[in-house]
Structures are given as C-alpha cells and as structure tokens.
Structure 1
Amino acid sequence: MRDKLALLRIFCTAAELRHFKDSATKLAISPQAVTRAVQQLEQLTGELLFHRNTRQIRLTQFGQQFYQDCRQQLAQLEQLLSPRAASNELSGEIRLAAPAAMRSILAPLLIEFAQLHPHIGLDLRLSDQHSAVVDEQIDLGIRAGLLRDQSFVAVPLSEVALWLVASPNYLKQFGQPATLDDLAQHQQVSMLDNATGKPWIWFFKDGATYQPRKVRYLVNDAEQELAAATAGLGLAQVADFLAAPQIKLGALVRLLKHHEPTPWPLSLYRPQRGPVSARVRLLFDFLRKRLSV
C-alpha cells in the first residue's frame, strides 16, 4: 500500500508540473523513477495516463479524471495522518481517572474546563482503587503515592498527608490514643481495599503500619469515611485535604501528629509516551497549573 501511495504522489506531481524532469527535481528522485512510476500506474489501471513526446507530456482524458480522483484521495489521507489543526483538535473525548477522595476538588475545575471548551467531552472515572489504565483506555490520571509504571509520563502536583482523626464527641467518650498500641482499643472507620477484601492498612512514621480490626463502619468512599468519623463512629485515617476543613470547624481532632507518615506525592500522569492529542495536552496543562502547589 505504501508503494502504491508513492506512485500516486509521483503521478500527481507530474500531472501538475507536466514535466517528468521537473517532477523528479521537486521530489528529489531520478527522472527514470518518475517514468517507471507512471508506467506502473498505467499497468495497474490498464489505461494510458499521459500523451508524451520528447518536449512535453499531456494528460489523457482518463488521466485527467484519474488525477482529480487521486488529488482528492491524497488530500483526505494527508488530513487523516497529519497532526490536526488546533481548531479541529479541540474536540473529542478525554477519559480521566482520579481518586474518589478528590471529587470535591476536581468537580469545579472540570466544569470550568468543559465550559471553556464546549466541544471536548469529559469522562471522569473516580475510584480510590488504582485504575487499569490500558483496559479502561485512560488518557490522563491523578494518583497519590509512587507510580511504579515507568512508561507513565508524570508530573508532581503536590503532596498528600495522612492524618489520624476522630470527632470531639468520640474522644470525650473513649479518650485519645497516646501510642500506636492504643489503636487496638478504639473503634475504627475504614476504607475497603477491593484487592484484598480487607480494610486499608493505616500508615505511620518510619514504616509502621496498623491493620484496622475493630471496624465499626467500613466503606468504599472516602467522603463517607470522613462523614462517619465526623459523626463519632470511630478513629479514621484520611487525606489532609479532606480532614482540614472539618478540623478548622472543630468537627474533627487531629491525633498522634508525631506518628504521621511522610506525605505521599500526588502526580498527574499520562499512561503512554509518544504523540498526544492537543485536547489531552490542553487538559494536562490545565490541571497541572490549577492543582500544583
């Protein structure tokens, strides 16, 4: 197919310039290559394409129609295979994966982006589980923690700290934990890890962890986890950006600060290296600018 396309391009150039030698110069090939290309096309079509003599060439009646058809088809092919013009690129769909915990942060930003670019469709996949980026055909993603896949193109946005919290009413009734060992004596609110079917492990300083066991309220949504902790159902470990507003209001208390783990990086990533459409790059740059600290 590639060879036949090359024949058609040579033919169109010859038809426009009406001279094999000039066509060869423009295409940086030999005049003999132009002649052979025309002859091959004549064999393939079974028709004479040019009337030619020692001084000039002229399209046959069939050749004139064939040239019009070739020029139209080649123009469509060039448009299909070439990077699209920016005005045409700002359309289509972008699929974004992000933690469900970021719903309240992302929602106004993505609505703003959609209003700025009415021809771009957004498909937002919110989950606190890691997305299967290939199977789900993810264009962009946001993830807290280390990105283990080295093929991802990623930029750091900020950091996410994990805070142990509880409501004042809960602490008034059950007291505050003073050490990590005290956690086993308290009721807990936790997120479900779908991969294991167990509550997510809590992380602390110097690699220490705790597996919640006295779980009174198990959920698969970070905002529901926060709501349960605020309602006094137990201790919870949540992202700082979720807990901070409730702490400011006095609805939650931050516990065991000296045991908090090192904050996790929050990254914006593209799953694949290589060419990227203008619409995807536009959203990538928009989110990087608006979410970077």
Structure 2
Amino acid sequence: MDRLDELAIFVAILDTGSLGGAGRQLRRSRPAVTRALAGLEERVGARLIARTTRQLTATDAGRELATSARRMLADYEASMSGVAAAPVRGLLRVTAPMAFGRRHVTPLVTEFLDLNPEVQVELVLADRNLDMIDEGLDVAVRIGPLPDSRLVVRKVGEVRRLLVAAPSYLASRGVPARPSDLLQHDTIASVAAGQGMLWRFGGSARGSSVAVAPRFIVNEIESGLIAARAGRGLARPLSYQVADDIAAGTLVRLLREFEPAPLPVHLVVPSGQHLAAKVRAFLDQAAAYFQRLGVIRPEGVS
C-alpha cells in the first residue's frame, strides 16, 4: 500500500473515531483499514492508536505523527493542484436541503455536468443533515451552524429567517408591529425546519422570543407555504424559500427590523481525505456560482 495512503487512513481513523468510520469515509473495507494501521504502527515502532471499548484515541506518538501527517497530506494536495489538472471523472454524491437544493443546487449540478462530461452526479435532497461518512457523500450544502468538527468548510453565503403572511390574511387580521403581537395571530410552524414553538427574533441587544401556539404544524416547509399563501396564518420560512412569493406579492415580508441574524450557507466535505479532482472542481465551481448568484441580497431575500 502507498505510504501516503497509509497516512490518509490513519488521519481518517482519528477524524472519525473508528476503523469502520475511516473505511466508510475513504471507501475502504474495514480489514484494509486495520491492515494499514497495523503496517504503519510496525514501521513506526510504536502504538499509534489507544483502543478502548468505546472509542479510539491517539497515543502521544500518534498525536505527533498526526500533526506531521496532516501537514504532509496538505502539502501533497497543494503540489497536485499545481501540476496539470487531473481528469474530472467518476461519481460525485452531493446533498442539500430540499427547497434550496431544488432552487439553487440543481441548476449548479446541471451546469457542472455540462462542463464535465465524464462526471456522474447523484444529488440527494433532504431537510435533515445526513451523516456524510455513513452515507458516502462527497459534498454537502449546509445552512446554519455546523457542530460537526469532522467537516472541512467553505462559506459561500447567507440566508435569513423571515416572517411572512398573505395579503388576504393581513387584510382580515391586521399587520403585527412587534414580535409580541404574534400571540394574537394564527401561526404555521414547520417542525422540519427545527422551529419548534419558540420563535426567536432580533432587533435588540438580547433579542426576543415568542412562544407561539400554531394552528397548523407541518413536517416540511412547502405544505406550510401553501397554507400561508392561502391566508391561513403567519409563517417563518428562510429567505430563499419565499423569494418568488415576495417578488410576486403572494406573500408579504413582516417585522424586518426584528429579524434574527443571517444564517451562513456552507459547502462542506469530510475532513481527513484527499480531495479528488471531481470534488475540488465542484467546490470551485459552486463557490463561483453562489458568488455570482448572490445567495443573500442586500434586502435579505434571494
């Protein structure tokens, strides 16, 4: 086995915390990962991984080797990117949130396919964050904070959480002037968006929260927007989900001065693995695409 490949497997074991996780990340069998680690420990002459019943952790020798291994792998990637471009081919698996994926990532993928005829892309749309290693995903579009430290991140934009309602609803029930007014209104909550029943707003040093009692609760955003367009109540989508509605006037944006801080949009890949040419090409094209697109506009709707 290539010595650099052994280092990549070693780093993947540390990043994922298990032999199986490293295998899934690098698309190797568990026995192959085990053999690579054993061979590396034999060559180093020291135990690199401390095995317990619950997890794998690096020994002192392992931590020292991991530091130099990460540097070597980064230098290798930099060197490879400086020579003639490797062929962009093979299967690329990308995941994104449902509505954002339909609106923004699908056109990006079709553009990428046009430019790279030897690439096949599988686009997985889901409103929950899939485990990239377990699912064998190459690139993910994530909106909001990223608690997973096993990811390499590139920020490409921002979106906002808005409060919207149909003109027909506002004509019959009035326009809220402050977040506390929502207690007198019908609301539509999307549990898939993680909203819950406590709606948080900005507009002051500490912001404010309103505990709503929604008349309608949905598990995917489009059902909630259908109800909102029909005048059934106030909804809290993300800006990209209602850009067309706001432009067309079918939904009205409310309480702008109380909107919470924008949410970041990231492109992420699992850490500890070499960036294949197809992944690197997609990241570069995606970053340029979102910059050109303007994921968030000055008025906060995209």
Structure-2-length-normalised TM-score: 0.62
Q: How many residues align?
A: 211
Q: Distance in 1 between matches of 2:138 and 2:109?
A: 15
Map of 1:242 onto structure 2: 241
Q: Does 1:218 align with 2:247?
A: no
Q: How does 1:111-122 map to 2 (within 5 A)?
A: 111-122=110-121
The CA deviation at 1:86 is: 7.5
Amino acid paired to 1:174: R
Does the 8 A contact of 1:170 with 1:232 survive in 2? yes
Distance 2:85 2:287 in 1: 22
Give the number of the structure whose alpha-carbon radius of gyration is greater. 1
Instruction: Please show how residues 159-238 of structure 1 align to structure 2 within 5 Å.
Output: 159-193=158-192, 199=196, 201-205=198-202, 206-220=206-220, 222-238=221-237
Deviation by residue 1:28-49 (Cα, 9 ceiling, x = unmatched): xxxxxxxxxxxxxxxxxxxxxx
- Cα pair 2:197 2:213 within 8 Å, conserved: no
Q: Which runs of 5+ in 2 are unaligned?
A: 3-79, 295-302
| Counterpart Cα distance in 2 of 1:249 and 1:241 | 14
Alpha-carbon distance change, 163 to 169 in structure 1, aligned in 2, over 3 angstroms: same
Tell me if structure 2 keeps the 8 A contact 1:191–1:200: no
Structure 1: gaps of 5 or more residues: 3-82
Going from structure 1 to structure 2, the CA distance change for 1:128 and 1:207 (only over 3 Å counts) comes to farther
Identity of matched residues, %: 33
Q: Residues 138, 178 of structure 1: CA spacing in aligned structure 2 closer, same or farther, 3 A cutoff?
A: same
1:181-224 deviations in whole A, cap 9, x for unaligned? 221222222212398xx84753311353345422325131x333
Counterpart position of 1:272: 271
| Aligned 8 A contact 1:86 1:278 in 2 | no
Task: Tell whether the 8 Å contact from 1:140 to 1:268 is kept in structure 2 after alignment.
Answer: yes
TM-superposed CA distance for 1:279, in Å, is: 0.6
8 Å Cα contact 2:180/2:210 also seen in 1: no
The whole-number CA distance in structure 1 between the counterparts of 2:272 and 2:123 is 21
Whole-Å separation in 2 of the counterparts to 1:148 and 1:280: 22
- Between stretches 185-194 and 263-272, larger displacement belongs to 185-194
Deviation for aligned residue 1:104? 1.2
| 1:165 and 1:236 in contact (8 A); partners too | yes
| 1:54-78: CA deviation from partner (whole Å, max 9, x where unpaired) | xxxxxxxxxxxxxxxxxxxxxxxxx
CA positional deviation for 1:273: 3.3
Q: How does 1:1-293 map to 2 (within 5 A)?
A: 89-102=87-100, 103-193=102-192, 199=196, 201-205=198-202, 206-220=206-220, 222-292=221-291, 293=294
User: Structure 2 counterpart of 1:223, which letter?
Assistant: E
Kept after mapping to 1: 8 A contact 2:163/2:253 = yes
* Contact 2:154/2:266 (8 A) holds in 1: yes
Structure 1 residues 87 and 264 mapped into 2: Cα distance closer, same or farther (>3 Å)? Answer: closer
Task: Normalising by structure 1, report the TM-score.
Answer: 0.64
What one-letter code is carried by the residue in structure 2 that aligns with 1:215?
Answer: R
Q: Secondary structure at the match of 2:243?
A: helix
2-structure distance, mates of 1:128, 1:241 = 14
Task: Determine the C-alpha separation between the residues in 2 that align with 1:273 and 1:174.
Answer: 54
Q: Secondary structure at the match of 1:224?
A: helix
Contact 2:96 2:141 in 1 (8 A): yes
Partners of 2:208 and 2:113 in 1: CA distance: 43
Task: Note if contact 1:193-1:200 (Cα within 8 Å) is conserved in structure 2.
Answer: no
Q: How far 1:179 moved relative to its partner?
A: 2.3
